[in-house]
Amino acid sequence: MNKEEILKELEHTIVMGHLDADDEGFDGTMEGTPGTLEFVEKALDEGIAPLEILEIFRRSMEKVGKLFELEEYNLADMLASAECVGEAMDILEPKLEVGSSSEKGKFLIATVEGDLHDIGKNIVATMLKGAGYQVKDLGIDVPGKDILEAMREFKPDFVGLSALLSTTMIEMEQVVKLIRENGFSDVKVFIGGAPTSKEFAKKIGADQYCRDVMDAIHALEKMRETL
Q: Domains in the chain, start-ordered, CATH in brackets?
A: 3-95 (1.10.1240.10), 100-226 (3.40.50.280)
DSSP, collapsed to helix, strand or coil, labels residue 96 as coil
- Model confidence at 211, pLDDT cuts 50, 70, 90, reads confident
DSSP H or E stretch at residue 161: strand 158-162
Choose between 27 and 23: higher pLDDT.
Answer: 23
- Model confidence at 177, pLDDT cuts 50, 70, 90, reads very high
Number of CB atoms found within 10 A of residue 123's CB: 21
**Alpha-carbon span 25 to 224, nearest angstrom:** 34
The Cβ-side half-sphere exposure at 72, using a 13 Å CA radius, reads 8
Which residue, among 73, 49, 50, has the nearest Cα to 61 in the 3D structure? 73
The predicted pLDDT at position 189 comes to: 97
The predicted pLDDT at position 102 comes to: 52
Q: Phi and psi dihedrals of 223, rounded to 5?
A: -65, -40
Share of the chain above pLDDT 90, in %: 54
In this structure, are residues 109 and 136 in contact, taking their beta carbons and an 8 Å threshold?
Answer: yes
**Alpha-carbon span 94 to 89, nearest angstrom:** 9
Which residue, among 163, 150, 221, has the nearest Cα to 196 in the 3D structure? 163
First-last CA distance in the chain = 42
The predicted pLDDT at position 161 comes to: 97
**Alpha-carbon span 160 to 43, nearest angstrom:** 32
The predicted pLDDT at position 197 comes to: 95
